[in-house]
C-alpha cells in the first residue's frame, strides 16, 4: 500500500506547485467481493491525470466522472459502485472522493514517516445515507501529528474506516550480475525498495540497476551495519561462495524475514555447515529464514523467470501462505 501512496502524494505535491488541483478517492467499504479491498486509493488531477487504481480498470471511469463535482464544489462525496451487474464480482464498493490539498507540513511529515520506516494510520469518516454523503473526510495520523485531508469539520457521527500503513517492503540484493539486475527490476515494479550491495571494487553504478533506490559498494562489515527489520528480505546473488559466506555471516542475528541463496542444495548445506563451525550460537530462527535454492518450483529457466520465482516465494513467506493454484483454494482469494 505504501508505494501506491507515495506515487499519489508525491504527484499531488508536484501538481500543487503547478497550480493543479487534486482529489483523492479511497475505497472505505465493501459488500461482497471485488478486485481490490478497502484501503486502496487513487488520485485524480483536474487535468484528467489519474494516479493509481482502485480496481482492475472498470471503476476508474466513474470515479473520474464523479470527481468533477468535487473539483467544482470543493466538498467530498461518497459514491457507490455496484459491480454485481457490471463486473461480475458480486460486490458493492463505497468510495470516498475528497479534495486533496496537503500542506507543506503534511508532505514533510509523510517523507519523515517513510524515512524512519514507522507505521502510520489513515482514518476516513463517511456516511452511506443520501443526506450525509457530502460529509466526512480522511485524516493521516503520523508520528508528527494529525493531518486532515481537507479542512471540513464533521458535525455528525459518521461511519469510520481506519487503516494501518506499514513501512514499505525492502529487498537487499547482494550481487551485481545479470540476474540481480532482473530481480531488481521486477521487485521495483512491485513497489519494493531495492538496495543493491556489491563489493568495494565493483565498477558498476546504480544506473546499471533500473528501479534500485540505493547502490552500495561496501565490504561485509559495513553490510552488517545496515538496517534490517521484519519487512526486509536479503537475496545472496554474488555467484561467489566466499563472498556469500562473508556477507551471510554478518546478518545471522538480524530481524530479516527471508534470506535467499542461489545455487543447488549442496552449496547451501556447505555454507550453513561453515557458518555453524564459525558461530557457537546460531538460532533455529535463523535457519528458518534460509531459503535455498531460492524460489518457487514453476519451471523457471531464464533470469526473468527466476526473478518471478524468487519474488513469489518471498511473497508467500511474508504473507504466510502456502503456494497453490487459486482454482484449488477452497475459500475466498483474500482469506
CB-based contacts of 140, cutoff 8 Å, min separation 6: 106, 109, 110, 120, 121, 122, 146, 147, 148, 149
C-alpha distance from residue 217 to each of 16, 169, 204, 206, 313 (Å): 37, 22, 9, 10, 27
Q: What is the pLDDT of residue 159?
A: 87
Q: State mean pLDDT over 219-242.
A: 93
Question: What does pLDDT average to over the chain?
Answer: 89
Residue 287 φ then ψ, to 5°: -65, -30
Q: Which residue has the higher pLDDT, 290 or 332?
A: 290
Q: What is the pLDDT of residue 278?
A: 85
Which of the residue ranges 36-40, 53-57, 146-150, 178-182 would you say has the lowest mean pLDDT? 53-57
Residues forming CATH 3.40.50.720 domain(s) in the chain: 170-318
User: If 0-12 CB within 10 Å is exposed, 13-18 middle and 19+ buried, where does residue 304 land?
Assistant: middle
Give per-residue burial for 53-72: e unless 16+ CB within 10 Å, then b: bbbeeebbebbbebbeebee
pLDDT tens column, 177-206:
999 999 999 999 999 999 999 988 888 999
Q: Where are the alpha helices (DSSP H) in 28-172?
A: 60-73, 83-86, 104-116
Superfamily classification of domain 170-318: NAD(P)-binding Rossmann-like Domain (3.40.50.720)
pLDDT tens column, 268-279:
999 999 998 888
Give me the count of residues in the chain: 335
Q: Which residue has the higher pLDDT, 32 or 146?
A: 146
Amino acid at each position: 500500500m505504501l508505494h501506491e501512496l507515495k506515487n499519489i502524494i508525491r504527484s499531488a505535491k508536484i501538481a500543487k506547485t503547478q497550480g493543479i488541483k487534486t482529489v483523492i478517492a479511497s475505497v472505505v467499504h465493501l459488500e461482497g467481493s471485488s478486485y481490490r479491498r478497502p484501503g486502496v486509493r487513487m488520485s485524480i488531477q483536474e487535468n484528467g491525470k489519474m494516479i493509481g487504481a482502485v480496481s482492475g480498470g472498470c471503476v476508474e471511469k466513474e470515479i473520474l466522472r464523479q470527481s468533477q463535482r468535487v473539483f467544482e464544489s470543493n466538498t467530498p462525496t461518497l459514491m457507490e459502485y455496484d459491480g454485481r451487474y457490471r463486473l461480475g464480482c458480486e460486490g458493492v464498493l463505497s468510495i470516498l472522493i475528497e479534495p486533496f490539498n496537503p500542506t507543506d507540513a503534511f508532505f514533510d511529515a509523510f517523507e519523515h514517516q517513510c524515512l524512519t520506516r514507522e507505521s502510520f494510520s489513515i482514518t476516513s469518516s463517511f456516511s452511506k445515507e443520501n443526506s450525509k454523503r457530502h460529509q466526512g473526510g480522511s485524516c493521516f495520523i503520523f508520528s508528527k501529528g494529525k493531518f486532515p485531508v481537507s479542512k471540513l469539520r464533521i458535525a455528525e457521527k459518521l461511519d469510520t474506516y481506519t487503516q494501518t500503513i506499514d513501512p514499505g517492503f525492502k529487498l537487499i540484493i547482494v550481487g551485481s550480475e545479470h540476474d540481480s539486475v532482473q530481480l531488481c527490476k521486477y521487485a521495483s515494479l512491485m513497489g519494493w525498495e531495492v538496495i543493491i550491495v556489491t563489493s568495494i571494487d565493483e565498477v558498476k553504478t546504480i544506473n546499471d540497476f533500473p528501479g534500485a533506490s540505493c547502490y552500495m559498494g561496501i565490504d561485509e562489515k559495513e553490510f552488517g551495519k545496515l538496517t534490517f527489520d521484519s519487512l526486509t528480505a536479503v537475496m545472496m546473488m554474488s555467484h561467489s561462495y566466499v563472498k556469500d559466506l562473508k556477507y551471510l555471516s554478518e546478518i545471522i542475528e538480524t530481524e530479516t524475514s527471508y534470506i535467499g541463496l542461489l545455487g543447488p542444495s549442496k552449496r547451501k548445506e556447505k555454507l550453513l555447515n561453515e557458518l555453524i563451525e564459525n558461530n557457537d550460537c546460531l538460532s533455529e530462527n535463523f535457519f528458518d529464514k534460509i531459503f535455498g535454492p531460492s524460489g518457487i518450483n514453476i519451471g523457471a529457466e531464464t533470469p526473468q523467470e527466476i526473478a518471478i520465482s524468487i519474488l513469489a516465494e518471498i511473497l508467500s513467506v511474508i504473507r504466510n501462505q502456502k503456494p497453490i493454484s487459486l482454482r484449488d483454494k477452497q475459500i475466498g482469494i483474500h482469506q
